[in-house]
Amino acid sequence: MPLTDIAIRTAKPAAKPVRLFDSGGLYLEVSPGGGKWWRLKYRVDGKEKRLSLGVYPDVNLKEARERRDASRKLLSQGVDPGKLRKATKAMRAEQVANSFETVAREWYLKHRDTWATGHSEKIISRLERDVFPWLGGMPITDISARDVLEILRRIEARGALDTAHRARGTISQIIRYAIATGRAERDPCPDLRGALPPAKETNFPSITDPEQVGELLRALDAFRGTFVVHCALHLSPLLFVRPGELRKAEWSAIDLDKAEWRYIVSKTKTDHSVPLSTQSVRILRDLHAMTGRGRYVFPGRNADTPMSEATVNAALRRLGYDTKTEITGHGFRAMARTILHEVLHVRPEIIEHQLAHKVPDILGTAYNRTKFLKERRVMMQQWADYLEQLKSGAGHDGDG
């Protein structure tokens, strides 16, 4: 006889489970503790099986019968409802494991220790504020260009265009990480080129806040690439020459005993002299042991050619810096020019001569390699010492 609502409500527990049968294999099991569970008894290939259909009163009699009927329909189609439920549960678990937020946090933890603290905090804050609330729960394989664009439009709408561009780059990096780890097949972000207005560009983005410079210098120490690139990264802020001149530096032009590097400026075709601080000499002596027998200070894969023009910027990106909006190899020049003048109070004409810029004087001389050489030597050592202070977290007022 089919069950009734009254019979279900008044069913009492006993020392052993009590089963109250309805029809079509549906029954209510009352546990000794008083819990009431809907179950379905069915057979597949002659083997008896049971399937849970929910708990009473969360699932009432009508709903239990609907679930029974749905399960029996699957059976009539040759589908085991129990196996289907397990497969569906496993698929959902896999989707959760491969959700955008899960993969993003894994990517973040993998790279966090190689980034400066400030940069790391910006990345996770941007994800948690602008991305996870909308993309976080989606399987990373299901994310489309339209999904990403909705995120970017939302950020753009509040006037944060630069942040929108950075978010797009971060989302792309995460999806490419998913591709590399076998959890996605395609990054939709390149499809969005041109979808946002271009961010306000500066010729060469740079970091000029002393505290952030200290974070960057500490990040450089964490670089895990080759020793040659490691040295190029550390010399970039110390020497602040043009990136092309640094990568093409030749040992024949460097006198480590005199602590001087002389070369022809690529832009002005004039002689230039770079006084070398004790820190720069130390790095170059260590590097000389590796590359000193060749022509180039920073050889590429082929020792007869200099390293690629993209190497320093690629290394900065590996450290988590956006070379379009935060810092480039060329940006170290603006960093030095700004801080030397505004913080260390070095006279502008001394800085400009060290940058190998054309500096007209009363005699009409555009550039003089030896002009202010003594002052520049003092400045370069002062700069190197100041960078060491910033890296150690010392004061930022330039008086230390």
Annotated active-site residue 367? The verdict is yes
d(Cα 351, Cα 384) in Å, to the nearest integer?
14
d(Cα 372, Cα 19) in Å, to the nearest integer?
99
Annotated active-site residue 16? The verdict is no
**Shortest CA distance to 106 belongs to which of 163, 165, 162, 182?**
182
- Rounded to 5 degrees, φ, ψ at 262 are -120, 135
Annotated active-site residue 371? The verdict is no
Using only the alpha carbons of the chain, give its radius of gyration.
Answer: 33
- Residue among 168, 242, 272, 353 flagged as catalytic: 242
- Residue among 111, 295, 318, 357 flagged as catalytic: 357
- Residue among 330, 337, 377, 391 flagged as catalytic: 330
**Shortest CA distance to 167 belongs to which of 158, 349, 286?**
158
DSSP 199: P
Distances (CA, A) of 198 to 120, 154, 166, 296: 24, 16, 12, 38
Helices (H), the chain: 5-10, 61-76, 81-97, 100-112, 117-126, 132-135, 145-157, 161-180, 210-221, 227-239, 243-247, 278-291, 311-318, 331-342, 348-354, 373-392
- Residue among 19, 43, 129, 267 flagged as catalytic: 267
CB burial string 56-88: b at 16+ within 10 A, e below = beebebeebbebbeebbebeeeeebbbeeeeee
Dihedral of CA atoms 58, 62, 68, 70 in degrees, nearest 10, equals -100
**Token output for 229:** 């690139």
- Residue among 367, 376, 386, 391 flagged as catalytic: 367
Annotated active-site residue 267? The verdict is yes
Annotated active-site residue 353? The verdict is no
- Residue among 333, 337, 353, 391 flagged as catalytic: 333
* Cβ-based burial of 366 (10 A; exposed 0-12, middle 13-18, buried ≥19): exposed
Query: Which residues are known to be catalytic?
Result: 242, 267, 330, 333, 357, 367
